Structure 1
Amino acid sequence: MEVPSEPLLRLRGLSTDIALRRGTVHALDQVDLEVNQGETLGIVGESGSGKTMTVLSVMGLLPSGGSVVGGEILFDGRDLRTMEAAELRRVRGVEMGMVFQDPLTSLNPTMRIGAQVAEPLRVHQKVSKAEARERAVEILRRVGMPRPDKIVDDYPHQLSGGMRQRVVIAMALIRSPRLLIADEPTTALDVTTQRQILELIDDLREEFKMAVILVTHDLGVIAGRADRVAVMYAGRVVETATTAELFRAPRHRYTEALMRALPESAADGRLYSIPGLPPDLSRPLTGCRFAPRCGFATDECRTTDVTLTGDGHAFACLHPVTEPVAIAASAGHGRAASGAAAEPILTVRDLVKEYDAGGAGLRRTAGRVSAVAGVSFEVRPGETLGIVGESGCGKSTVGRLVAGLEAPTGGRIVVDGTDLAGLDRRARHRMHREVQLMFQDSYAAMNPRMRIDSILTEPLEIQQVGDAAARRARVSELLDQVGLPRRALERYPHEFSGGQLQRIGLARSLALRPRLIVADEPVSALDVSVQAQVLNLMRDLQGELGLSYVFISHDLSVVDYMADRIGVMYLGKLVEVGPAGQVVRAPRHPYTQALLDAVPSPDPGHTPSPDTTIRGELPSALNPPTGCRFRTRCPLAQDVCATEPVLEGGAHQVACHFPLRLEQD
């Protein structure tokens, strides 16, 4: 790629403050960045590193109390900070576009899709409604939206997560911007949809000849998509280089720590986690901001303000990395199944869950949604069964059924010899002592008006466990188990970080001493280092307490690390079940192979095969395909696939008429 003489966007000494009641947070401090026309710059770092605050400063979308207090924001040589308000609105509304992390909260729930996509045209170009609708349909078609002429009349809640993300991309592109900013555009998406969205951004970059800033905490996304990378920590850029150079030879100790925390880099069966917490940016800071968490820091690091140095590959570190960081893609960390001879603690047989679909007009229902269709599996004491699949595959529904939050339509759920379906309400209530659910969003699962003391005590009170003194002792024990201080009991949920909230959620699920925990996407929203801390804690407690887990996730690298066995679900059915190492290294179902190939690899040289890309949207569970439900998207499908395959094959089972060859074949 030919690099222009002058960058399209240049940040010089950018400093941003956020004024709060308790003081001023210095969110950005002397940030220098450049983005060339047609280039993709990746910005990576933990939550609170300043990566999102950087792009919000560029777009003028800072939160309440936020202001740029120093530096320059040069777009095509023009300083956005000195522009007149009208010109600034035109530049930010026409020449720049932004894709936000959560498309549902970015879209107006009361406006139809077509009106929202066309809104930038109506505001900046004053086109007619008819022309705006026509242009909206065209841009939706260009971003790969199925049936765009119909979608324009829908509302956001009627679309899937991947479709909503395509809508916000269309909104950002309808004015053909020169710069597209994508802030965590795939964080909440499963791996197949994530791959489609990232490939779409790549294709549109080529088509529109635009620059892209890709903000993410996922190093695999950065490795496969960015030309250059900027690593941020505590409001500063600590390292910048070409993507290939950064992954080949990272120099800053923070960059090294992020790479070591990847599930692919697990050594001796354990993930590396960065000790400590990022600094409080409302307080004066001296020296290297990473020094308190760095194992190589010296007194000089704590007192010297280190700045970026280097030509091309710049870093701010007095004791830089000298050896490459080893990252093994699909290393296969799945454990040998434990407790293989013991009786199962959980047995699920022919589990079915159907829902009535709402109908229009006087019709009460429009049919039955087949969420779970004949699923069977077992979990033994001390074992972890991982369940993976795309959004809408039914994995979370299985988790809610096992945890007793919903009643099955058919089949059996046997916990420690007791069939839940045959229990009355009171007996099912008592079974919650045996099975607990760990939620994906711990904050949403907690009462914001209750202190942590009350949140942890509540299940003990409901189940009438012990007296007040015994409950206090149990809560203190729980805090010790999950590594939180006693003073946490006096605080409210909003006062904790995401990782701390997940620890509290785990503590609550342990309160009644269950034998089985259903963990539904427990680390999907966490940074890689915090994710490592929570996963290590879960495995430690499993060994200490003899817990069994049903671990639900769309991230195969995480499930590979956690699980003894893995079950792969597609549209309500299990299509493959086997030992974790075999499923990851020698998948037998084409869908499993496609999921593995869609996982972003922390290897810039890795190129996934286009032959394994899953095309199109997941079929509707209201009217699923006959036979093999994957056949409408499978590259191997033939006429025989219209008949349903049986899940078979011993320890490593597959439901496919044309299974992939085993590794040893």
Structure 2
Amino acid sequence: MEAPTQPLLRLRDLSTDIALRRGTVHALDKVNLEVRQGETLGVVGESGSGKTMTVLSVMGLLPSGGQVVGGEILFDGRDLRRLEAKELRRVRGVEMGMVFQDPLTSLNPTMRIGAQVAEPLRVHQGVSKAEARDRAIEILRRVGMPRPDKIVDDYPHQLSGGMRQRVVIAMALIRSPRLLIADEPTTALDVTTQRQILELIDDLREEFKMAVILVTHDLGVIAGRADRVAVMYAGRVVETGTTADLFRAPRHRYTEALMRALPESAAEGRLYSIPGLPPDLSRPLTGCRFAPRCQFATDECRTGDVLLTLDAAGNGHEFACLHPVAEPVAITASAPVAETAAKASEPLLTVRDLVKEYDAGGSGMRKTAGRVSAVAGVSFEVKAGETLGIVGESGCGKSTVGRVVAGLEPATAGQIIVDGQDIATLDRRARHHMHRQVQLMFQDSYAAMNPRMRIDSILTEPLEIQQVGDAAARRARVSELLDQVGLPRRALERYPHEFSGGQLQRIGLARSLALNPRLIVADEPVSALDVSVQAQVLNLMRDLQHELGLSYVFISHDLSVVDYMADRIGVMYLGKLVEVGPASQVVRAARHPYTQALLDAVPSPDPDRAPAPDTTIRGELPSALNPPTGCRFRTRCPLAQDICATEPPLQGGTHQVACHFPLRQEPAQETSAA
């Protein structure tokens, strides 16, 4: 479809300030963007770059102290800043819709789904309760929600993450808006659910002829979904152009750095990490704001204002850089990262036939509604100095495995053998001591820390609990930990809320290292970080592994990250391991249909890469209360036959698969060698 000549939304010199007690943060400085009807504009950048603040300014949802202080917000030719309050509410309530990053916090936990989806109709159009319910069911059906007539009576906590995101999309679309803003709509979702949500947004854009603004830090999402891209840094747009032009030939040095930081671009076993930190926007800034972190910066970059200029090719590609990139950036590694050689003949961790079940809540006189089969007979090994990656959809049981291995939850059955000792057979005192050997690194470091404790107390706490050394020795150990994770000593006097996401993950890693463990279970440690900070944390984890001889169980839904970090990968589905093998073989020669579907769902940052075949996993994950018999994947597998009702065992040599119809055979030399 040919885009209209006039933009539906145009931002002209948009400037936004946030008033704080310590001063004023100039969050946006003369931002210029536009999006046309039927077009998708991708907005990318690090945390704090201003991308979310831009869309919040448009929607009038700025945080306390926030105010648009300059510029224009033109929607269909009308400046929203000049409209009366009643008209402004109508435009923003009817003609615009927004999908927020975290659907659980965006939904009212005390309201049923149907009431929340229909609320905009009741508020802005005054429709009856019965009509609103019918239209809520219809829009839920259109966004692919199973059993929408039943879902409308459920509460948010009863739905999966993907289903909650569909509810939020339905809320935004029920008024048939002309502009849909999606702010990090898939950040916390696994790759299969992410693909479903992004395809849903694409389909709805075509159906409703909407303009879409897609805000994300995932360059792969932008490469495959957006028509044009705007790259933001420190409150400004530093580069903009068509997706194909920008990804094939980025011109700004910041855009180049973001692409080099991707796991797919790892060179010589290491990710590129952008040095330094973004500038403090509460202070006066001169020159190019990226200059302090740019290796090509000159005095001219630091002193004069650098404005957006058109590329000489005349393709509408603009960038604000005095020393632009001349050559295309290679965003695909030429070869897989070399795997770590086997470190020891005896495994550090052996998990045998691990089972974890929970009682499901009942109703009335029934105490339970059954047993949830979270982990069902999982076995694996981790050797000293090795990283085992565990991947799978949300609800597959990978985090449960991590919590049980780390000792946060007891196993229902099976063995967890650490350094030759079965944890389950140890008495309480011995098990307490064993916790020194195995530590957990949490996904959300901030939520895992006491907000009322300073960092020195947070890092000292495990040493005090385990009665390690005297006060002087503990202080020395804490200082050593800060040096290891690259944080200054003054960090000890601050509280968790005073740190960025990447700094908090470094503190979380420091705490997990406090007792000199041999094994760290890292549960989604970088899932919420942008690519530049993610690169810093992953490089740090690999450096410490080589320095200290650590082993990792690395849990993630991001296969590109696991491919970079892991020596071996185990793929889980509904409580079962369905494939285990060397990382390069699992990623590049998958044997199980489920693994291949996960790989095909991963968004690629390479615009020239051929689209993956449509192996999207259909339907929702079956209930762990009543899992399918035999192969648990058979109800969603395109290759399933009658024999799949009998459970296939993990079989093979170094590359094992639990499938009656594997996609590939293991090389004969590997099987015989095993």
Pick the TM interval, shorter chain: over 0.9
CA–CA distance in 2 between the matches of 1:71 and 1:362? 63
CA–CA distance in 1 between the matches of 2:35 and 2:197? 21
Compute the displacement of 1:114 (Å). 0.1
Is the contact between residue 95 and residue 179 of structure 1 (CA under 8 Å) also seen in structure 2? Answer: yes
Compute the displacement of 1:340 (Å). 4.8
Give the paired residue count: 657
Compute the displacement of 1:93 (Å). 0.6
Is the contact between residue 371 and residue 397 of structure 1 (CA under 8 Å) also seen in structure 2? Answer: yes
What secondary structure is seen at the aligned counterpart in 1 of 2:108?
A: coil
* Match status 1:81 vs 2:85: no
Is the contact between residue 344 and residue 384 of structure 2 (CA under 8 Å) also seen in structure 1? Answer: no
Alignment identity in percent? 91
CA–CA distance in 1 between the matches of 2:243 and 2:96? 24
CA–CA distance in 1 between the matches of 2:331 and 2:33? 27
What secondary structure is seen at the aligned counterpart in 1 of 2:347?
A: coil
1:530-581 deviation digits (Å, cap 9, x = unpaired): 0000000000000000000000000000000000000000000000000000
What secondary structure is seen at the aligned counterpart in 2 of 1:500?
A: helix
Compute the displacement of 1:605 (Å). 3.5
Compute the displacement of 1:89 (Å). 0.5
Is the contact between residue 338 and residue 382 of structure 1 (CA under 8 Å) also seen in structure 2? Answer: no
1:444-491 deviation digits (Å, cap 9, x = unpaired): 000111100010001001000011111111111100000000000000
1:327 corresponding residue in structure 2: 331
Compute the displacement of 1:342 (Å). 2.4
CA–CA distance in 1 between the matches of 2:609 and 2:31? 31
Is the contact between residue 354 and residue 409 of structure 1 (CA under 8 Å) also seen in structure 2? Answer: yes
1:36 corresponding residue in structure 2: 36
Is the contact between residue 337 and residue 579 of structure 1 (CA under 8 Å) also seen in structure 2? Answer: no
What secondary structure is seen at the aligned counterpart in 2 of 1:566?
A: strand
CA–CA distance in 1 between the matches of 2:619 and 2:211? 27
CA–CA distance in 2 between the matches of 1:220 and 1:64? 33
Is the contact between residue 330 and residue 584 of structure 1 (CA under 8 Å) also seen in structure 2? Answer: no
Is the contact between residue 264 and residue 330 of structure 1 (CA under 8 Å) also seen in structure 2? Answer: no
2:171 corresponding residue in structure 1: 171
Is the contact between residue 310 and residue 317 of structure 2 (CA under 8 Å) also seen in structure 1? Answer: yes
Compute the displacement of 1:328 (Å). 1.3
What secondary structure is seen at the aligned counterpart in 1 of 2:435?
A: helix
Compute the displacement of 1:330 (Å). 9.6
The aligned runs of 1:7-18 (5 Å cut-off) are 7-18=7-18
CA–CA distance in 2 between the matches of 1:606 and 1:101? 28
1:504-543 deviation digits (Å, cap 9, x = unpaired): 0000000000000000000000010000000000000000
Is the contact between residue 388 and residue 566 of structure 2 (CA under 8 Å) also seen in structure 1? Answer: yes
Compute the displacement of 1:634 (Å). 0.6
Compute the displacement of 1:607 (Å). 4.8
1:255-276 deviation digits (Å, cap 9, x = unpaired): 0000000000000100001000
Compute the displacement of 1:302 (Å). 0.3
CA–CA distance in 2 between the matches of 1:448 and 1:305? 40
Compute the displacement of 1:341 (Å). 4.1
Is the contact between residue 381 and residue 547 of structure 1 (CA under 8 Å) also seen in structure 2? Answer: yes
What secondary structure is seen at the aligned counterpart in 2 of 1:277?
A: coil
Is the contact between residue 267 and residue 333 of structure 2 (CA under 8 Å) also seen in structure 1? Answer: no
1:314-357 deviation digits (Å, cap 9, x = unpaired): 000000000000011795xxxx3433542100000000000000
Compute the displacement of 1:606 (Å). 3.5
CA–CA distance in 2 between the matches of 1:3 and 1:499? 40
The aligned runs of 1:190-589 (5 Å cut-off) are 190-310=190-310, 312-328=316-332, 336-589=339-592
Is the contact between residue 266 and residue 333 of structure 2 (CA under 8 Å) also seen in structure 1? Answer: no
CA–CA distance in 2 between the matches of 1:285 and 1:569? 49
Is the contact between residue 257 and residue 274 of structure 1 (CA under 8 Å) also seen in structure 2? Answer: yes
Is the contact between residue 94 and residue 177 of structure 2 (CA under 8 Å) also seen in structure 1? Answer: yes
What secondary structure is seen at the aligned counterpart in 2 of 1:258?
A: helix
Is the contact between residue 330 and residue 557 of structure 1 (CA under 8 Å) also seen in structure 2? Answer: no
1:73-122 deviation digits (Å, cap 9, x = unpaired): 00000000000111100100110000000000000000000000000000
Is the contact between residue 343 and residue 385 of structure 2 (CA under 8 Å) also seen in structure 1? Answer: no
Is the contact between residue 439 and residue 517 of structure 2 (CA under 8 Å) also seen in structure 1? Answer: yes
1:128-156 deviation digits (Å, cap 9, x = unpaired): 11100000000000000000000000000
Unaligned runs of 5+ in 1: none
Compute the displacement of 1:428 (Å). 1.1
Compute the displacement of 1:426 (Å). 1.8
Is the contact between residue 263 and residue 557 of structure 1 (CA under 8 Å) also seen in structure 2? Answer: yes
CA–CA distance in 1 between the matches of 2:565 and 2:152? 42
RMSD of aligned residue pairs (Cα, Å): 0.9
1:399-434 deviation digits (Å, cap 9, x = unpaired): 001000111000000000110110122211111110
1:107 corresponding residue in structure 2: 107
Compute the displacement of 1:603 (Å). 1.6
What secondary structure is seen at the aligned counterpart in 2 of 1:433?
A: coil
1:565-624 deviation digits (Å, cap 9, x = unpaired): 000000000000000000000000000000111111002234544531111111110000
Compute the displacement of 1:495 (Å). 0.4
Is the contact between residue 438 and residue 521 of structure 2 (CA under 8 Å) also seen in structure 1? Answer: yes
Is the contact between residue 291 and residue 301 of structure 1 (CA under 8 Å) also seen in structure 2? Answer: yes
Bigger drift between 213-222 and 341-350 goes to 341-350
CA–CA distance in 2 between the matches of 1:268 and 1:454? 38
CA–CA distance in 1 between the matches of 2:114 and 2:191? 27
Compute the TM-score of the two structures, normalised by the length of structure 2: 0.97
Compute the displacement of 1:304 (Å). 1.0
Bigger drift between 16-25 and 321-330 goes to 321-330
Structure 1 residues 286, 249: CA separation in 2 closer, same or farther (over 3 Å shift)? Answer: same
Is the contact between residue 337 and residue 565 of structure 1 (CA under 8 Å) also seen in structure 2? Answer: no
Is the contact between residue 339 and residue 380 of structure 1 (CA under 8 Å) also seen in structure 2? Answer: yes
CA–CA distance in 1 between the matches of 2:621 and 2:545? 35
CA–CA distance in 2 between the matches of 1:307 and 1:2? 30
Compute the TM-score of the two structures, normalised by the length of structure 1: 0.98
CA–CA distance in 1 between the matches of 2:36 and 2:546? 51
What secondary structure is seen at the aligned counterpart in 1 of 2:14?
A: strand
What secondary structure is seen at the aligned counterpart in 2 of 1:269?
A: coil
